[in-house]
Copies of this chain bind each other. A is one copy, B any other.
Amino acid sequence: MFFASSLIACWQDAVTGFDPQSVDGQNSGIFLWIALAIGVIGLLIALLFARSVLKSDNGTTEMQAISNAIREGAEAFMGRQYTSIAIIAAVLAVVLYIGYRLSPFTAPMANKVVISFLIGAVCSALSGYTGMFVSIRSNIRTASAARTSLGRSLQIALRGGAVTGLVVVSLSLLGIGLLFLAFGGLTNPRAIPYQLVGFGFGASLVALFAQLGGGIYTKAADVGADLVGKVEAGIPEDDPRNPAVIADLVGDNVGDCAGRGADIFESTAAENVGAMILGAGLFPVFGIKGILFPLIVQAINIIASMIGVSIVHSKEDEDPMHALNNGYYVTSFLALLGFAAAVYFMLGARWWFLACGLVGIVMSFLFVRITEYYTETRYRPVQSIAEASLTGPATNIISGLAVGMETPAMPVIVIGASLLLAYYFGVRGLADVHIAAYAKGIYGTAIATMGMLSSSAYILAMDTFGPITDNAGGIIEMSEHTEEVRGRTDKLDAAGNTTKALTKGYAIGSAALAAFLLFSAYLETIREIVQHRLHDAGLLLPASWSFTNINLASVPVFVGALLGAMLTYLFSSLAIKAVGRTAEHVIQDVRAQFKENPGIMAGTSKPDYGRCVRIVTGAALKEMILPGALAVLMPLAVGLSFRHLSPSFHIGTGEAYVPSINGVAINLGGAESVAGLLMVGTISGILLAMLMNNGGGAWDNAKKYIETGAHGGKRSEAHKAAVVGDTVGDPFKDTAGPSLHVLIKLLATVTLVLAPLFL
C-alpha cells in the first residue's frame, strides 16, 4: 500500500505536471550525498578516537586480569542477549511479513517494511555492541591513566564514550540515508519516508530488549552483590572477595553503555523517520530539501560533537564536570551555527525555523539543569533526603518518593512552553504558505526536536563516560592503589554519576518532544492510508481532510488512553520485579559460594566470578521477555479489537466529512483508540520515568552526601537508612526508568508500522 502510495504520487505528479525539481532547484539531491559523506566521516573519526584510546597504556597484569574478566562476562552476555533478540526479531519479521501480505492494501509494502525493519534492528544492535566493545576496553585504560594524570584519564574516558556517540549517530544517518537512496528517494522523494517506518521499529525493538535485558542484569547484579556482600558479609563495595563483584562491573557495561547506545540510536532513528514523514507532507513547500533536512541536522550533530569532544581538557585540580560542561556548551553553539546554515540553504532562510531549533537547544539545556537541581548534593532535594535519613529508612524512602513525584513539575512546564513556542514559530515561519496551520505548527515542533537532538552525539559521549569511569574506579579499588590514585578515580566516578543522571534528563526530554513529532507522523500515515484505500476504489480524498482528531471524549479513545497509561505502570512493575527475582538468584549463588569455599572470605582463594555471571545472564534474558512482549502486543491488541467495535461508539461530528467507500464509512475506531493509547501512554510514561530517574538519582546522591561526612557520615544510622534508599532507587533509575524511555518510542514506532492493520 505504501508502494501503491509512491505510484500514486508519481501519477499525480505526471497528471498535474508537478516537478519536484522546480521546487528544489537542480541539485537538491546533493544534500543526501553530503549527509552520507559526513556519516562515513563520523565512523572514521570514531575509529580514530577508538585507536587513540586503545593505544594508551593498559595497566598492570593484575588490572588486566580484572578487566579481562569484565570483558569476557560482558561479551558472553551480549552474545547470548543478541542471539535471543535475533530470534525475537526474526519471528516478528515473519509475523510482520504475513500481516502485511494478508491484506491487498498492504501486500505490496511487505518487502520494504521487513527489509527496513531488519536493517534497523541490525544497526541498533551494532550501536549497542560498539558501545559495550569500546567501554570495556576504555575502562582499564582510564584506570591506568589515572595512576599519573587526571586530565589524561578524563580524556580517555570521554573519547571512549565519544566512539559510541559517533557510531550511533553515524549508523542511524547512514542506515536511513542509504535505505532512502535504495528505495528510490531521489527520483520519488515524497513517498519513501513512509516506507522507512520499519527501520524505526527495528531500532526500537532491539533497543527495548537491550535496555530491559541490560537494565535487569546490571541492577540484579548490583543489588545482589550489595545485599549479600555489604549487608550480610560486611565487606566493602567492589571487594574482590565478593563472587558477584565482576557481574556487578559487567552490568555497568551491558546496562548503561549498550542499553543507552541502543536507546539513543532509537531516538535518532525514530525522530529522523518521523521528521521525514512530516517533511514529505510539506513537499509542495520545501521539496526534497524538507525531507532531507533531518539527515543534515544529524550530520551537523556529528561534526559539532566531534569538535566538542576534542576540546575537552581538564587540569589536575579542576572539577571534571567543568571541562565536560564546556565541551557541551561548545557543541551546542556549533550545532546552532550549523542549524542556521541548514535553515538558510534548505528551508529558504525562514528564520522562524532557526527559532524553533533554538527552542529545542534551550529546552535540552533546561532539562539538564533541572535534573541537576534534583539530583545534585548541593541543592535542597538531595539534602532533604539526607536529612530524612536521620529518622531511619522509612522517612528516607518517603522523602525520596516525594522528591521523585515533585520532579515532573518543572520539566512539564518546559515541555509545554517549548511545544507552544515551536508550534507558534512554525506557523509564523510558513505564514505565506497556503496549508493548514496545524501542518505548519507541527513542522515547527519537529524542527525543535531536531534542535534538541542536534548535540546528541556529545550527550551520549558524556553518558558512556559514566560507566567507563565507574569501571575504572572498580578496577583501581580491586587492584590496590594509593590514596592519590583512588582520589582521581573517585573524582571521575562522581562526575560520571552526574553525567549519567543529566543525560537521563536529556533522554526523557528528547523522548517527550520526539513523541509529539511521532504522533503527528502516525496521524499523517493514517491519512495517507485512507487516501490510498479511496484511490484504489476510484475515489478522491478531499485535500482538506486530515486525520487529526483524536477525541478524548470518545469512549474508545478514552479507554485506549486508560490502557496506555496502565501499560506504563504494569511495564515498570514487571521490570522491577524482574530485577528482584534475578537478584535473588545472585544472592543464592553468593551464599552458596561462601559456604562451599570458606577460603574466599579468608582471602586465600578466589571466588568463581564466572558462575555468578552465567547465572545472572540466564536469568536476566529470561526476565526481559514478558515486559518486552507486553509493549509490542498491547497496541496491536487494542488496535485490532477496537477496529471491530460498533460504529455507534463514534462521535458524529455533525457536518464534517467522513471518508467512505461504497457508502460505508471507513471505521477509524481502531486507529483512534491506538492514538489515545500512544499519547496518554507517552504522557504517563514520561512522568513515571522522571519520578524514577530523578528519585533514584536523588537517593543515590543523598547516600553519597552522607558518605562525605554529613549527618554522621559512613557507618552512621543515617547512612544505613540512606543505603536502603539507594538500593530502592537502583532498579528505578537504571532499569524501569530508562526502559520507559525506550517503551515510549517503541509505542510510537510500533503504531507507525502496524497502522495499516488498524483500519
Contact = CB atoms under 8 A, between A and B. Distances in A.
Contact of A550 (B406, B552, B656): B552
B549 A728 contact: no
A562 B415 contact: yes
Contacts of A570: 405-406, 408-409
A572 B405 contact: yes
A649 B419 contact: no
Contact of A552 (B546, B552, B650, B724): B552
A562 B413 CA distance: 9
A416 B559 contact: yes
Nearest to A576: B402
B577 A441 contact: no
Given A559-B420, A656-B656, A519 B409 contact: no
Nearest to A642: B420
Contact of A684 (B402, B577, B579, B683): B683
Interface string A695-737: 0000000000000000000000000000110011001000000
Contact of A416 (B562, B655, B687): B562
A408 B569 contact: yes
B427 A648 contact: yes
For chain A, what secondary structure do more than half of its interface residues adopt (helix, strand, loop), or is it mixed? Answer: helix
Given A395-B227, A546-B654, A675-B552, A516 B566 contact: no
B683 A569 contact: no
Nearest to A391: B227
Contact of A545 (B436, B566, B654): B654
B576 A655 contact: no
Given A394-B728, A654-B542, A419 B555 contact: yes
Interface in A648-692: 648-657, 675-676, 679-680, 683-684, 686-687, 691
A406 B731 CA distance: 15
A397 B724 contact: yes
Interface in A563-612: 563, 565-566, 569-570, 572-574, 576-577, 579-580, 583, 587
A18 interface: no
B438 A652 contact: yes
B546 A549 contact: no
A739 to B, nearest CB: 13
A580 B394 contact: no
Nearest to A560: B416
Contact of A406 (B394, B398, B573): B573
Contacts of A657: 654-655
Contacts of A399: 577, 580
B412 A563 contact: yes
A520 interface: yes
Interface residues of A, number: 96
A646 interface: yes
Contact of A438 (B223, B423, B557, B651): B651
A555 B724 contact: no
A27 interface: no
Interface in A308-322: none
A388 interface: yes
Nearest to A516: B558
A106 interface: no
B645 A552 contact: no
A519 B555 CA distance: 11
A403 interface: yes
Interface in A399-432: 399, 401-406, 408-409, 412-413, 415-416, 419-420, 423-424, 427
A561 interface: yes
Interface string A300-331: 00000000000000000000000000000000
Contact of A724 (B392, B651, B652): B392
A401 B731 CA distance: 11
Interface string A82-123: 000000000000000000000000000000000000000000
A31 B573 CA distance: 49
Contacts of A519: 553
8 contacts: A223-B394, A227-B392, A406-B573, A437-B652, A438-B652, A516-B555, A520-B553, A551-B552
6 A-B pairs closest in CB distance: A394-B727, A405-B573, A412-B566, A416-B559, A406-B573, A656-B656
Given A231-B392, A395-B583, A408-B565, 18 more contacts: A227-B391, A393-B394, A394-B727, A398-B731, A402-B573, A406-B577, A415-B562, A416-B562, A436-B652, A437-B648, A550-B552, A551-B552, A561-B679, A561-B680, A562-B683, A565-B683, A565-B684, A684-B687
